[in-house]
Structure 1
């Protein structure tokens, strides 16, 4: 069959999470609960950082941006999946699929950049404590956030605009519960060499550079902490970056899991589970990691809880 142009194709079809209809209400409830926890948890982090004057520091500024990114990434994928389960309709329009893929890529890259900025912030705080306020000044933090936004938006727009040149056959079934750019490109009938070159180049730049920055930051942090003579001093220094290290491990660990599963398995179910671990789990757990391990966040959350209880 001759491949058709993309403008003549109206829909993609997403994979069902289960073919057992009796399991769908359970899956719907599970993901609805996960989504609500993600939204409420990250919103609470944002509100806490904004409302508490003691948290108006670069570390918590980046944390609020991370929470905002987590909300956006979850909202890009989970509500549409819930709609598909509820309506028993796995179709998504061509425009909707490409838009979703663009936003997923945008927020994934943005999260990677924000995590790298947070790692640099911890490096400056631990390795250069006397010059921390000079290094991480308000102007520089604003530049880091703006640069992260520009990079993520420019990359996602370029990648998705390049998909518009592709033609697709009648086989438009995606092996995922959301539209992911690489999976969409796999369905194309036309030449995808340029698209894959762009994907690998973007992965190397926007994945490799932030990871390299994080590794460099933590290498210097560990080196500086080991020079501290007292055990209490070492513990205090490590505790300031423990939450960030857990979040980084969770995010990039899930990303590596997606890559490994995609490379070594042809099972759509395993691939879907790996993508869930990447796009759902870290975003839900990040607020708990920071609120449970960070003393300042605990105090600020306690103040907000007290105020809310008094109002009620």
Structure 2
């Protein structure tokens, strides 16, 4: 677009992985496989939790919602990556860009709050095992999950409204593979200081506040575990929250690296690599993290598959 005309942008061009023009076909296959594994793992986890009565506990109730968010999270981003890799670059309308950013922000924000809820759940399970089902009754569980979604949606409305009330003119090429905040701010014309303060402060607050809640929960968990007299009890308690701690470290570690660094220390190549990790890789890894080391999930899978085999033999 001509720089002197200041024409208002009506669509954007996602440049994708322009640094690797000879690897589009290979990257397309890699991301396609990642996406299929992500859907299979997360949807499979949701179905397994619904079918097996022994998994109808608060922990797996929250895990089913984490799987739902990961499946949606990946579906908002990965098809766009595949389209960009298939064509080299993708034209996306202003409205589609805003919608992608909105739903991506809902999933990311809600997952932050849900991981905080899951840390609190693990603390209650370890510190008060006899009162666990009373303290985390269905009404409390639903209230916590609905609260996580409300906070995620509210944050998405605020961030999307602030971001897309900016003026975009002249340059419409986003040096990224989806509509994320940092590359969008680079294209905005006019003063973006107030918007950046509001949007970045709120985003950082969500990350840091939930990280603090999780950190406090795990410090209390460690304190409770160390008080246990039985080494077997300590090992069993550790196994109940080790998977969640792994998922938290991966998710918050990459989000912090992406959004809490100063602008001077960022590079487009690093941003793309980190964004691929938390938008594509982590949603694929979470079902594996929660199933490979989890005896309850393995036993539930055997029971469900066993019932299907019996049904087929009838």
Q: Distance in 1 between matches of 2:164 and 2:264?
A: 29
Following TM superposition, by how much is the alpha carbon of 1:256 offset from its aligned partner in structure 2, in angstroms? Answer: 2.4
Structure 1 runs of 4+ aligned residues shifted over 6 Å read: none
Does residue 258 of structure 2 align to residue 258 of structure 1?
yes
Q: Match for residue 83 of structure 1?
A: 83
**Equivalences for residues 201-220 of structure 1 within 5 A:** 201-220=201-220
CA RMSD of aligned residues (A): 2.0
Does residue 155 of structure 2 align to residue 155 of structure 1?
yes
SS at match of 2:92: strand
**Equivalences for residues 268-283 of structure 1 within 5 A:** 268-283=268-283
**Equivalences for residues 1-312 of structure 1 within 5 A:** 1=3, 4=6, 8-18=8-18, 21-259=21-259, 263=263, 265-308=265-308, 311=312
Question: Residue 3 of structure 1 contacts residue 167 of structure 1 at CA under 8 Å; is this kept in 2?
Answer: no
SS at match of 1:280: helix
Q: Cα deviations across residues 74-105 of structure 1 (Å, max 9, x unaligned)?
A: 00010011112223442211111111111111
Q: Distance in 2 between matches of 1:143 and 1:205?
A: 22
Greater shift in the superposed pair: 256-265 or 95-104: 256-265
User: Under a length normalisation based on structure 1, what TM-score does the superposition of the two structures give?
Assistant: 0.93
Aligned length: 310
Following TM superposition, by how much is the alpha carbon of 1:232 offset from its aligned partner in structure 2, in angstroms? Answer: 1.4
Alignment CA distance shift 1:261-1:270 (3 Å): farther
Greater shift in the superposed pair: 39-48 or 88-97: 88-97
Q: Distance in 1 between matches of 2:118 and 2:185?
A: 33
5+ residue gaps, structure 2:
none
Greater shift in the superposed pair: 82-91 or 214-223: 82-91
Question: Residue 3 of structure 1 contacts residue 189 of structure 1 at CA under 8 Å; is this kept in 2?
Answer: no
Q: Distance in 1 between matches of 2:303 and 2:171?
A: 55
Question: Residue 174 of structure 1 contacts residue 183 of structure 1 at CA under 8 Å; is this kept in 2?
Answer: yes
